[in-house]
Amino acid sequence: MQRAKGNATAIDLASRVLLPFLGLAMLVLLTATLARAEGTTISHGYSYFGSLKYPADFPHLDYVNPDAPKGGEIAISNERGTFDSFNPYARKGVPGALASIGTERLMTSTADEIGTSYGLIAESLEYPEDQSWVIFTLRPNVRFQDGTPTTAHDVAFTHNLFMEQGLISFREGVSRIIASVEALDDLRVKFTFQPDAPVRERISQAGATPVFSQAWFEKTGARLDESRLETNMGTGPYVLDSFDINERITYRRNPDYWGAELPINIGRNNFDAIRIEYFADGNAAFEGFKAGAYTYRIENSSKQWATQYDFPALTEGHAVKAELPDGAQASGQGFVFNLRREKFQDIRVREALGLMFNFEWSNETLFYDLYARIHSFAENSYLEAKGLPTPEELAILEPLADLLPDGVLDSEPFSYPASGARQLDRKNLRRASALLDEAGWAVGDDGMRRKNGQLLKVEFLERSPAFDRVINPYVENLRRLGVDAVLNRVDNAQFVDRRYAFDYDIITDHLATGYEPGSNLEQSLGSKEAAVSVFNSPGVADPAVDAIIDVIRNAATKDDLIIGVKTLDRVMRAMKFWVPQWYKDVYTVAYFDMFEYPDPLPPYDLGYLDFWWYNADKHEALKAAGALR
C-alpha cells in the first residue's frame, strides 16, 4: 500500500492508534481493509501535484480562529434587483443569492493552498496507481438538512441527475471524465473514469460532486432543470429561512449541522444568520448601507470608495473602511466580443474596437487611480506569459504555426498600448482607423463605416448602472471611429436570457484561466462546446486553442502545466477577442464594527461569510448608539 504524498494514510493512523484496543472482530475487519487496499493509495485528501499541507490528524485550518464565537447575523447586499428561483442549476430563472449555500461536495478546498482537496462528506478516498477509479468512503454521521442519513446511493443519484438534467455543457464536460458511478454499499461509492480522460482531472472532478437527497427529489418530484422557490436538499451548514421576492433572503445556520465539529470546519460557519438585502442598483445599495440596512459591503465602485465614504456611521466610528490584501489571480474581467457574430470574425475589427477603450484616462478620471490594467488571462499570478516565448513554449507553438495569429512565435505577448491623458487618444484612433480601412469598413459621407452596404454596429449589453460611466465614454470614442456603438442596459432577467441565448455583441465577463485549469477550459474556450456552452461567452472555436487545451489537460507535472497555461495566455491575447479591463490586489470593504477576522488572512479568499465572526458586545454598542436599523 502506497502512502498519500507526505502524509500518513487512514490505515496507518488506525493501526497506530487503535490496534492496542481492537478486539478480534475489529482486527479481522482491519485485515480485510488492508487486503482490499493492497496496491492502492488511501488518504484523507488529494493533490495531483506535490504534497498535502494538512495531515490526516490536523486539528483545524491554519488561517481560522478555532475559538471564534458562534452567533449574530451578517447582512450583505445584492444589486441585481430580483430573483425568482432557488435552484442555481437551471438554465431558466434568476437564482437567489447564495442559493447553493446548503450544498456540500465529497471534497473541499482550502484558502491557503492551490490544487488540493480534503474530504468533507467523504472521510477518505482510495485509488490505484493509474487512477482508473476512485472509491470514496463517506463519513457515517453525514446527514441531510431534514435529518436523514446521507449514503453512497445519494451520491450516485446526484451524479446521474446532473447527467440527465444538468446544463448540456456541464454534462458533456463531466461525461468525458467520469464513465460511471456505483454505490458499493451505503458508505462506499466508486467512480470509474473514461480510459482517455486526463489523469490529473479524474479524482478532482469526482471529488467536486455535490450531494443531494435522492429521497427528497423522489418525494417532491422536483427536477434539476426547473426554476423553483425551493432549495435542493443538501447537507450544508445553512438552510433557507425566509425570503421576500425583490427584497431579501435569509439563511440560518442549521443547529443540527452534522459537520460542525469536523476539523476542516472548526472556526468556520460562525454566523447564526446570513441576510441578503436586494436593491435595484449599486447607488441604492450604497445608500442602504449608509443607513444601516445591511452590515457588510464589498465596494466595487472606485468613485464611491474615493469620494463618498464620509457618512456619519463611518465618521462617528460605527463603521470600518478597510483595504485587505488579495493575493489571488485577477478575475480576467474584460469586454468580450461575441465571435459568433460575423463582424467580429476579422481580427482587425476586434483590435480596432479594443484600441478605443482608454484605460489610462478611465483610471485617472473615473477610478481615482485605484486600479491597474489587466493584460493577461492569468494576471497577478505566476501563470502570466511574459517576454518572448521560451523554448518550452515554442515546442508547443511551432507545430501550430500555421494556425496562430501573427506575432505569437516571435514577439512579446500582445497588450493594448497605453493611451494618452485625453479621453480620445488620437494615435490609437489613427491605428484603429487604418485597421478598419484594411478590413474593408469604409467611412461614408455621414462619417459612419459600412461594408457591403451594412453599417458597422455594436451593442454593449449591460445590467449594472455602475458601468454607464465607463461604457459611455468608450461608446463616444467608437462613434468617433465611425462605429454605430450603443449601450443597452437591461434588467437582470433580460440580461440572463440574452446571455444564455448568445444574443449579444459585447458583454463584460471574467475569463481568468485559474491556477490548475483542465477540462473546464473545453467548456469556456473549446470548439466542441462553443455552440452550446454558456461558459464560452466569446464563442472561441479555434484549433490552436483546442490543441493547447489538450496539452494543459494532459500535463503530467506542475512545470508542464505552467508552460501550457502561459502558452494559452500568449495565444488568446494575440486573438484579441477580449478588451481587458482592470483589477486591484486588495479587497475594498466596509462593515459595521461588530465583525472580526483572523490576521493574517489567507492568500486566496477574503472569507467574510466563511471564517469571520460576530462580536456580540460591539453589536450591542452599535444598537445603543442607534447606528443600525
Query: What pLDDT band is residue 168 in, cutting at 50, 70 and 90?
Result: confident
Residue 6 has pLDDT above 60, yes or no: no
Report pLDDT for 29: 33
What's the CA gap between 65 and 280, in Å, rounded? 36
Give the pLDDT of residue 147.
97
Check whether 205 has a pLDDT greater than 50: yes
Q: Provide DSSP, 511-555.
A: ----SS--THHHHHH-STTTTT-TT-TT----HHHHHHHHHHHT-
Q: How many residues does the chain have?
A: 629
CB within 8 A of 22, min separation 6: which ones?
30
Which string of b and e fits 440-469 if b means at least 16 CB within 10 Å?
ebeeeeeebbbeeeeebebbbbbbbebbee
Q: C-alpha grid cell for residue 188?
A: 462506499
Nearest in space to 355 (alpha carbons), one of 258, 255, 428:
428
Q: pLDDT at position 628, please?
A: 87
Examine the pLDDT at 472 and tell me if it is beyond 80: yes
19 has pLDDT over 80: no
- Residue 68: the pLDDT is 98
HSE-CB at 106 with a 13 A cutoff on CA atoms is: 30
pLDDT of residue 13: 30
Cα-based distances in Å from 171 to 103, 164, 196: 19, 8, 17
> Predicted confidence band at 236 (pLDDT cuts at 50, 70, 90)?
very high
Q: What is the pLDDT of residue 11?
A: 29
Q: What pLDDT, on the 0 to 100 scale, is given for residue 1?
A: 35
Cα–Cα distance measured from residue 324 to residue 303, given in angstroms and rounded to the nearest whole number = 18
Helices (H), 20-126: 24-37
If one counts every other C-beta atom within 10 angstroms of the C-beta of residue 415, the result is 12
What does the buried/exposed string (b/e) look like for 348-382 if buried means 16 or more CB atoms within 10 Å of the residue's CB? bbbbbbbbbbbbbbbbeeebeebbebbbbbbbbbe
Residue 519, pLDDT score: 83
If you search the block for the grid coordinates 494575440, which residue do you land on? 574
Nearest to 489 by CA among 77, 82, 80, 83: 80
According to the model, what pLDDT value does residue 3 have? Answer: 35
Least confident of 169-178, 292-301, 313-322: 169-178
Predicted confidence band of residue 466 (pLDDT cuts 50, 70, 90): confident
| Mean pLDDT value across residues 74-81 | 93
pLDDT of residue 8: 35
pLDDT, mean of residues 258-264:
98
Q: Which residue has the higher pLDDT, 384 or 13?
A: 384
**DSSP SS3 for 337:** strand
Q: What mean pLDDT do residues 555-575 have?
A: 97
pLDDT of amino acid 81:
82
> For 610-619, what is each residue's pLDDT tens digit?
999 999 999 9
Summarize pLDDT for 90-117 with one digit per residue, the tens.
988 899 999 999 999 999 999 999 999 9
- Residue-level pLDDT at 38: 61
Q: What is the DSSP letter of 196?
A: T
Mean predicted confidence (pLDDT) in 251-265: 98
pLDDT at position 422:
95
Domains and CATH numbers, the chain: 1-40 (no CATH), 44-283 (3.40.190.10), 333-583 (3.10.105.10)
